[in-house]
A and B are shown apart, each in its own frame.
Chain A
């Protein structure tokens, strides 16, 4: 069973989001990393780039697959997790911690309300698995 921490928000594209004031920390979920397999490369944007909600901001690669990653909310990238360049496996081993991908200043923190709660996301993934 995939780990779904209760204090986070989730998207149907399998990203998680942690709210810290008007800043959002974003990564991919345990469920997502598990279905991708061993992550070998993470392509991330540069600080200062701006994204609309649900826009692709990068990609995650395993040996034989590529998945785009999407911003659950709109905003400007403040920081990217540079350490993933050398240790992409952190996305597998600690998707909600050391495997975080970007910190973003949200344009409209209200967008968070449209995301899924842990319970809702768990329900969503169990339907997808069937």
Chain B
């Protein structure tokens, strides 16, 4: 096996050096009756050439990967500068472990410190951690953190949060005695209905919303923050499309207490759903309740600046069952990719990307709404996603669009919402050219007839 340095002869010598004759004896401490007495049912080794051929063949069976696409809903196609992949592929980054030895991990530690800072800047929050698995688990952890801070068990969650995020939150809280109550959607605006909030009382730990929400509508975050704070509850804001930070008022400046986001938009490949990176930020006063790792500034005896993992007493390896979370491995390398993205695009690029997304989505929405039979059911302002109501079954329409026009036109909402057969969600980013948008419009027009 070419990944094992020692030759068979060297291994023989080493075996003798430790007083053994056969490799099998290395496993003498495993009782014979539970040792495997036959080879694993795994094929024989493939060479590099054979392996590439096999994987290329499998990859060809994913035609959606090479088609013009208007799919969003929690995972987004954005431009990723070429240098990201080069830099994260440096051995020093991708073959390093968690930076437990700061003297020889300053590269990773400084990059995480920059990541934490950038997340604070974009979310408008005061402190951010070193990453969570993804946006969905970050949201679930935010709900648990709100319970820790307030010691209250009722959490009010908007129904316009990504359905998979809601499902993950349900799983995480099921043994915590936390009730997740749903807020309805205002069918006219597409925003979370705030009617039920008048019944809000001091039993509520938090209100949880997503903005832009799952249907692409921008929520009135500041107003909802006021309602939450009036009864001593926290506001948790989730963002699935981080490109929106470039143009929308930040959760922090709207009064959010915890902001979580999916950072995939920042230079991370779609990769069929992962690995992505969860952003998690809050107020300074809640820093000791944060889940996950934190990097802080520190100095050596000569006064030289460096960075270390800090406030570790919150974490599982020290506080065990009383830890703020069970998370250990996070998304280090993906957080690095997002950091490089944010720095390369920079102040102007993040803003321009967001502006292009909004403009192109507006153009697409207008063109689609002009087609006979199609309409846009929601009136609220949007960023780069919107719901379209089709004249016929949306799932069938989209699958014909794929097979006949080679366009992935969006997501049929029937995947998540029973009975919403004619609605689909369209996402437009800076990567969709006008020509692609026009083809989508033409395709929808021709298939409607």
Q: Could you tell me which A residues sit within 8 Å of B by CB distance?
A: 41, 61-66
Contact = CB atoms under 8 A, between A and B. Distances in A.
Contacts of B319: 66
Given A65-B313, A66-B318, 7 more contacts: A41-B313, A61-B313, A64-B312, A64-B313, A64-B318, A66-B313, A66-B319
Nearest to B317: A64
Q: Which of B288, B312, B313 has the most CB of A within 10 A?
A: B313
Contacts of A41: 288, 313
Interface string B318-335: 110000000000000000
10 contacts: A41-B313, A61-B313, A62-B313, A63-B312, A63-B313, A64-B313, A64-B318, A65-B313, A65-B318, A66-B313
B41 to A, nearest CB: 45
Contacts of A66: 313, 318-319
B286 to A, nearest CB: 14
Nearest to A66: B313
Interface on chain A toward B: helix, strand, loop, or mixed SS? strand
Interface in B289-345: 312-313, 318-319
Interface string B413-426: 00000000000000
A61 B323 CA distance: 13
In the complex, the 8 A-B pairs of residues with the closest C-beta atoms, listed nearest first: A61-B313, A66-B313, A66-B319, A64-B318, A66-B318, A64-B312, A65-B318, A63-B312
Contacts of B312: 63-64
Contacts of B318: 64-66
Interface string B366-394: 00000000000000000000000000000
A64 B312 CA distance: 7
Nearest to A61: B313
A58 B312 CA distance: 18
Give the residue among A62, A63, A65 with the most B Cβ atoms within 10 A: A63
A49 to B, nearest CB: 14
A90 B313 CA distance: 19
Contacts of A65: 313, 318
Nearest to A43: B288
Nearest to B323: A66
A61 B318 CA distance: 10
Nearest to B312: A64
Interface string B41-63: 00000000000000000000000
Nearest to B308: A63
A41 B318 CA distance: 15
B296 to A, nearest CB: 11
A45 to B, nearest CB: 15
A66 B321 CA distance: 13
A114 to B, nearest CB: 29
Contacts of B313: 41, 61-66
A41 B319 CA distance: 14
B245 to A, nearest CB: 32
A65 B313 CA distance: 6
A61 B319 CA distance: 10
A1 B306 CA distance: 35
A117 to B, nearest CB: 33
A51 B319 CA distance: 23
Nearest to A59: B313
A42 to B, nearest CB: 12
A66 B312 CA distance: 10
B55 to A, nearest CB: 43
Nearest to A62: B313
Contacts of A61: 313
A80 to B, nearest CB: 17
A66 B319 CA distance: 7
Interface in B210-248: none
A63 B317 CA distance: 12
Contacts of A63: 312-313
A127 B136 CA distance: 51
A41 B312 CA distance: 12
B297 to A, nearest CB: 14
A62 B313 CA distance: 8
A66 B315 CA distance: 11
B212 to A, nearest CB: 38
A61 B322 CA distance: 14
A33 to B, nearest CB: 16
